[in-house]
């Protein structure tokens, strides 16, 4: 399933770095896929993606595509932010529990309620992508 | 048996400085602290307060408070200064500035909000290991010359994953704000009940001469402030300030020779949950599991329970954090911590006073030295010199320090010895 893409104004305030390993994640995101790694030994997924399984420390992990669906665990609106984020204030951030049993922290868009379903979307700035969660529309 | 080479009637200072006689018990025997405030000044000022001059005076003051001599000290464990302190390698610079040769340990420690507690713990461990009899745990945190928006460019990278959290704009206190939102959602506590923690802490700080914020403050004042991270407003999050503290720690045999009350470390517990801000495996984030685990260890080590405590001086940068840590320590039932504060249970004179100093919100929060202020407050209470914030018959206390969103906690149980 291809992710929804939401356009954002200007450049990313604090662009993430890429390693040869995490480049796979960011490239997939640009193509509309929300991916992470899963251990081939203990079968547990991890987020952020890692070349080593944090649970059993195996170095055999594989890329898997996530549904990008989950529920909002908590959120806040940041009114006082770091220098690089001044132009985006106020903005929302939150914690999402994905359907695959992973907890992530990300930007929040729209009026999301706690424990209600959200979807992960691509947040596309002029210089590249990050991601965000927004409420799943009824129907 | 190295200690057997010491003569039985060794001069006091000699027996204080050397030997490996491990009684196992360590005490806080002296303290001196700078009032928390804006001391650093700016580059363009004609004169400025300099970190080493401030701290040197506190060293002298703390030893005087302890009734010990310069020659008694053989270890110094420093909290790392902020990057905004021009003098680097501060510990060794201070060893020279104080002309203090040490055969125990001289070092600097960094562990974000837990920094000063780790310095305290390391100094205590040197005494437990028999490597030193008297150790200083000390440091200075000057940061007020740097604006909050600039400071957050650094602190946002200490409280999250630089590539998978920071790009979204999380700030250190945004994590606590999410604790508050979840807490209100789960337990139906009100914003007003949370804000009552700030009012209570200000009422304590009004009686603390070293507190940064001492003006009277009402619940309406707290609720009227501009939002910082919803639902927390300006007075529910820590202000920024400069601070410096020197604590004198000693083996208990030395503490007894000082002929003044001291604070014995009766129990210690540390726990890191192996997570950074959030657990990737969903958990009950607002249970503060690390604080629960560390407190259980400290209580077991001390042979006491939460009901035995006379007060607690906890590390709580925001109102919600004090609520959650009070529940994790067993000082209030789950979901009742905010209400307990609103009903006066955690005020001086209440069932279990918390943050008698005024806490991080009103005493102030120069982060890398903040836990030093907590131990100093315990000593003030045990010595009966806390004035209008004095807890009657203060004999047993707990302190906490943490990092992240209480992903790790270091808990101490301290006991007054008269």
Distance (Å) from the alpha carbon of B189 to chain A's nearest alpha carbon:
15
Q: Considering chain B, what percentage of its residues have pLDDT values greater than 70?
A: 94
**Rounded distance, CA B354 to CA B349, Å?**
10
Task: Determine, for residues A82 and B229 on separate chains, whether the beta-carbon distance falls below 8 Å.
Answer: no
- Tell me: the pLDDT tens digits for A52-61? 999 999 999 9
Task: Determine, for residues B282 and A97 on separate chains, whether the beta-carbon distance falls below 8 Å.
Answer: yes
Nearest beta carbon to residue B169 from set A95, A101, A107: A107
Task: Determine, for residues B169 and A83 on separate chains, whether the beta-carbon distance falls below 8 Å.
Answer: no
Nearest beta carbon to residue A74 from set B166, B181, B228: B181
Nearest residue of B to residue A99 by CA position?
B282
Answer whether B211's CB lies under 8 Å from B362's CB: yes
pLDDT at position A1: 63
Distance (Å) from the alpha carbon of A97 to chain B's nearest alpha carbon:
7
pLDDT for residue A77 is more than 90:
yes
Best mutation site among B167, B179, B234, B235 for testing chain A: the one with the most A CBs within 10 Å? B167
Per-residue confidence band for B369, with pLDDT thresholds at 50, 70 and 90:
very high
- Tell me: the pLDDT tens digits for B150-200? 999 999 999 999 999 999 999 999 999 999 999 999 999 999 999 999 999
Nearest beta carbon to residue A105 from set B153, B177, B278: B278
Per-residue confidence band for B23, with pLDDT thresholds at 50, 70 and 90:
low
pLDDT at position A58: 98
Distance (Å) from the alpha carbon of B339 to chain A's nearest alpha carbon:
21
- Tell me: the pLDDT tens digits for B216-263? 999 999 999 999 999 999 999 999 999 999 999 999 999 999 999 999
**Domains, chain B:** 2-145+244-257 (3.40.47.10)
Nearest residue of B to residue A75 by CA position?
B178
Sheet-wide strand order for B311-313: B105-109, B75-79, B134-141, B243-251, B26-33, B262-272, B408-417, B396-403, B311-313
Task: Determine, for residues A73 and B285 on separate chains, whether the beta-carbon distance falls below 8 Å.
Answer: yes
Q: Considering chain B, what percentage of its residues have pLDDT values greater than 90?
A: 94
Nearest beta carbon to residue B163 from set A16, A47, A102: A16
Distance (Å) from the alpha carbon of A37 to chain B's nearest alpha carbon:
13
- Tell me: the pLDDT tens digits for B78-101? 999 999 999 999 999 999 999 999
- Tell me: the pLDDT tens digits for A85-131? 999 999 999 999 999 999 999 999 999 999 999 999 999 999 999 99
pLDDT at position B12: 43
pLDDT for residue B15 is more than 70:
no
pLDDT at position A139: 52
pLDDT at position B21: 46
Between the alpha carbon of residue B329 and those of residues A64, B223, B290, B352, B398, the distances in Å are: 40, 27, 10, 12, 9
Task: Determine, for residues A83 and B168 on separate chains, whether the beta-carbon distance falls below 8 Å.
Answer: no
Average pLDDT, chain B: 94
Looking at residues B47-75, what average pLDDT do you find?
A: 98
**Rounded distance, CA A16 to CA A21, Å?**
13
ipTM over 0.95 threshold: yes
Distance (Å) from the alpha carbon of B324 to chain A's nearest alpha carbon:
16
Sheet-wide strand order for A45-46: A45-46, A35-39, A61-65
Answer whether A90's CB lies under 8 Å from A108's CB: no
pLDDT for residue B22 is more than 50:
no
Nearest residue of A to residue B168 by CA position?
A107
Instruction: Report the run of H or E that residue B320 belongs to, with start and end.
Output: helix B319-328
Residues of chain A positioned with their CB less than 8 A from the CB of B320: none
pLDDT for residue B11 is more than 80:
no
Residue the block writes with tokens 């596309």: A124
pLDDT at position A137: 78
pLDDT at position A43: 97
Between the alpha carbon of residue A32 and those of residues A65, A122, B68, B131, the distances in Å are: 10, 7, 68, 60
- Omega cis (within 30) before B292: no
Residues of chain A positioned with their CB less than 8 A from the CB of B278: 95, 103-105
Nearest beta carbon to residue A78 from set B166, B171, B231: B171
Distance (Å) from the alpha carbon of B222 to chain A's nearest alpha carbon:
17
Q: Are strands A117-125 and B75-79 parallel, antiparallel or unpaired?
A: unpaired
């Amino acid at each position: 399933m291809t992710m929804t893409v939401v356009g954002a104004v200007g450049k990313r305030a604090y662009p993430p770095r890429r390693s040869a390993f995490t480049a796979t994640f960011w490239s997939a995101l640009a193509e509309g896929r929300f991916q992470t790694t899963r251990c081939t030994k203990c079968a547990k997924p991890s987020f952020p993606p890692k070349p080593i399984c944090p649970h059993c420390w195996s170095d055999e992990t594989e890329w898997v595509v996530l549904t990008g669906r989950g529920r909002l665990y908590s959120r806040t609106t940041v009114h006082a932010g770091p220098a690089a984020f001044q132009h985006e204030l106020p903005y929302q951030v939150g914690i999402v529990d994905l359907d695959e049993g992973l907890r992530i922290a990300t930007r929040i868009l729209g009026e999301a309620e706690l424990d209600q379903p959200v979807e992960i979307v691509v947040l596309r700035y002029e210089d590249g992508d990050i991601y965000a969660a927004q409420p799943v529309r009824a129907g | 048996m190295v200690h057997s080479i010491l003569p039985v009637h060794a001069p006091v200072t000699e027996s204080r400085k050397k030997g490996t006689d491990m009684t196992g018990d360590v005490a806080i025997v002296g303290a001196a602290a700078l009032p928390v405030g804006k001391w650093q000044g700016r580059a363009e000022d004609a004169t400025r307060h300099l970190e080493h001059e401030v701290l040197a005076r506190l060293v002298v003051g703390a030893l005087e408070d302890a009734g010990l001599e310069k020659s008694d000290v053989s270890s110094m464990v420093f909290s790392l200064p902020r990057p905004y302190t021009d003098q680097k390698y501060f510990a060794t610079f201070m060893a020279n500035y104080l002309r203090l040769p040490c055969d125990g340990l001289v070092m600097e420690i960094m562990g974000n909000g837990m920094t000063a507690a780790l310095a305290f713990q390391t100094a205590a461990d040197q005494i437990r290991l028999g490597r030193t009899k008297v150790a200083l745990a000390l440091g200075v945190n000057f940061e007020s010359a740097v604006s909050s928006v600039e400071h957050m460019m650094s602190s946002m990278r200490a409280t999250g994953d630089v590539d998978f959290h920071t790009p979204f704009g999380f700030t250190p206190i945004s994590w606590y704000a999410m604790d508050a939102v979840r807490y209100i959602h789960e337990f139906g506590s009100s914003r007003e009940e949370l804000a009552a923690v700030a009012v209570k802490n200000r009422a304590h700080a009004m009686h603390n001469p070293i507190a940064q914020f001492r003006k009277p403050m009402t619940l309406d004042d707290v609720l009227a402030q501009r939002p910082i991270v919803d639902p927390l407003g300006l007075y529910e999050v820590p202000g920024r300030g400069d601070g410096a503290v020197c604590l004198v720690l000693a083996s208990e045999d030395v503490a007894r020779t000082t002929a003044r009350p001291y604070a014995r470390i009766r129990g210690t517990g540390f726990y890191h949950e192996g997570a950074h801000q959030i657990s990737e495996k969903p958990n009950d984030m607002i249970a503060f599991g690390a604080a629960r685990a560390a407190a259980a260890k400290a209580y077991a080590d001390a042979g006491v329970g939460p009901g035995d405590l006379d007060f607690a001086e906890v590390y709580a940068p925001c109102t919600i954090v004090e609520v959650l840590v009070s529940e994790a320590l067993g000082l209030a039932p789950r979901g009742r911590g905010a209400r307990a504060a609103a009903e006066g249970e955690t005020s001086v004179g209440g069932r279990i006073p918390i943050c008698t100093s005024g806490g991080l919100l009103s005493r102030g929060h120069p982060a890398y030295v903040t836990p030093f202020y907590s131990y100093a407050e315990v000593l003030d209470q045990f010595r009966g010199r806390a004035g209008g914030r004095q807890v009657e018959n203060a004999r047993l206390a707990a302190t906490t320090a943490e990092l992240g969103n209480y992903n790790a906690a270091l808990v101490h149980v301290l006991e007054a010895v008269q």
